[in-house]
């Protein structure tokens, strides 16, 4: 069975780790990776680093994990964006394996 992928972008590394911890405790998911991105407008952001948490599992588990992760990140620095891919294509799976950290 193909796993869903949850992508949660947050401000900062601490928020990403807190979000990953909350996600792992909330549902039966795997934390695939945490990636970093320093955008061109970093100086104008609340925290000059955006991290992307990649969460894998069933659609229901990823949804529950994403809700918990977003709440944890919001309590620290905030969420930039979030998206769930229920059934990633083969090409998308290749992109999901890329990690910047």
Instruction: Provide the mean pLDDT of the chain.
Output: 91
**Cα 23–Cα 31–Cα 35 angle in degrees, nearest 5:** 110
Q: Which residues pair with 62 in a beta bridge?
A: none
Q: Please, what are the domains in the chain?
A: 4-85 (3.30.70.1710)
Q: CA-to-CA distance for 51 and 16, rounded, in angstroms?
A: 6
pLDDT of residue 2: 82
Q: CA-to-CA distance for 57 and 50, rounded, in angstroms?
A: 23
Residue among 7, 27, 5 nearest 85 (CA): 5
Q: CA-to-CA distance for 72 and 10, rounded, in angstroms?
A: 10
pLDDT of residue 43: 77
Q: Which residues pair with 42 in a beta bridge?
A: none
The answer, yes or no, to whether residue 24 has pLDDT greater than 80, is yes
Contact between 101 and 20 under an 8 Å Cβ cutoff? The reply is: no
pLDDT in tens, 34-71: 988 877 777 777 777 889 999 999 999 999 999 999 99
pTM for the model: 0.88
Name the pLDDT band for 101 (thresholds 50, 70, 90): low
Could you tell me what percent of the chain has a pLDDT over 90?
A: 70
pLDDT of residue 37: 82
Residue among 78, 72, 67 nearest 18 (CA): 72
């Amino acid at each position: 069975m193909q796993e869903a992928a949850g992508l949660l972008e947050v401000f900062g590394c601490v928020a990403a780790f807190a979000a990953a911890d909350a996600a792992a405790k909330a549902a039966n998911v795997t934390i695939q990776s945490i990636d970093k991105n320093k955008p061109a407008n970093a100086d104008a952001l609340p925290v000059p680093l955006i991290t992307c948490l990649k969460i894998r599992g069933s659609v229901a588990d990823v949804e529950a994990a994403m809700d918990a992760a977003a709440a944890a990140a919001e309590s620290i620095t905030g969420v930039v964006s979030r998206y769930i891919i229920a059934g990633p294509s083969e090409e998308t799976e290749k992109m999901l394996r890329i990690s910047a950290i």
